Amino acid sequence: MHDIIIIGAGTAGLSAAIYALRAGKSVLLLEQLSYGGQIINTPEVENYPGIKNISGFDFAQGLYEQATALGAELEYAKVTGITDGAEKTVHTEGKDYSCRAVIIATGAKNRPLGLPKEQELTGAGVSYCATCDGAFFRGRPVAVNGGGNTALEDALFLSNYCSKVYLIHRRDAFRGEAKQAEQLKAKENVEFVLNATITELVGEEELSAVIVTDKQSGEKRELAVDGLFIAIGQMPDNAAFASLVDLDPAGYVVAAEDCKTRTEGIYAAGDCRTKTVRQLTTAAADGAVAALAACAYIG
């Protein structure tokens, strides 16, 4: 029996663990993949207040070490549901765990383009993580799809060692930071392909090209690339909690800035929660808010 079970060991979950442990509560983190969450795939973080520059991996490692040094326990398991009651039971594929309060900090996973062959070519040219797979494409042409911070960072990262980087975006304005778009514009091996969507992946065993369609003219263009990095945002994965918390139409857990869900003692923190700004800072802030609310609930 733990005081608090935190589902997900990303920035929100680990921040919640730090706050709950410092408040004297026992904490179990349940994580299905690896600790650190999405930020481990970000080459450089330059907008976390107080830290001028750090790799996403080092940032996550620091959080993990801070939480475990305080006594956080971490188990790898996929949570399949929660049962409410005097105590709460968190169900996983292999085992059930009891606790007094639960913090859902499941983050979000990469959104696929939904194109034919996308799954088959994943790992054979198609990737969702430039930091993990970019090095395989040294000296070769690649494309990045998306217009947010992830796509801009990925394109910048890849432009340092790929022969050519096409940045394909469905609009002519980027959602990501202007500073990075300006840096990309100045790179000779980067070409913006704007107002365009990828409509076909070419290649049998390995990706050899993408077909892009101009949204205004309908004109098609084949871009010969060995790699495609898809960075078109994330999707939440909260269906397992739908009996105890409300989900919005996109699947995010409905909770306001106090991180409270419709069930007492169950909180939502970080990217899995309905919110407008999904950043490291807001994930860490949610972790603190949810943990302190859970501590107050437990008493």
| Active site positions, annotated | 129, 132-133
Min dist. Cβ of residue 15 to ligand NAP (A): 15
Residues 6+ apart with CB under 8 A from 126: 118, 201, 207, 227, 228, 230
Min dist. Cβ of residue 112 to ligand NAP (A): 9
Min dist. Cβ of residue 294 to ligand NAP (A): 25
- Rounded CA gap, 64 and 40, in Å? 12
- Smallest Cα–Cα separation from 134: which of 227, 30, 204, 61? 227
Give the nearer residue to ligand NAP in terms of CB position, either 127 or 234. Answer: 234
SS3 content of the chain, % helix, strand, coil (to 5): 30, 30, 40
- Rounded CA gap, 64 and 14, in Å? 7
Residues 6+ apart with CB under 8 A from 299: none
Give the nearer residue to ligand NAP in terms of CB position, either 92 or 127. Answer: 127
- Rounded CA gap, 84 and 264, in Å? 9
Min dist. Cβ of residue 25 to ligand NAP (A): 29
Give the nearer residue to ligand NAP in terms of CB position, either 129 or 292. Answer: 129
Residues that bind ligand NAP (CB under 6 A): 42, 45, 47, 146-151, 153, 170-171, 175, 197, 231-234, 278-280
Give the nearer residue to ligand NAP in terms of CB position, either 236 or 265. Answer: 236
Amino acid type, 131: T
Residue nearest to ligand NAP (CB): 148
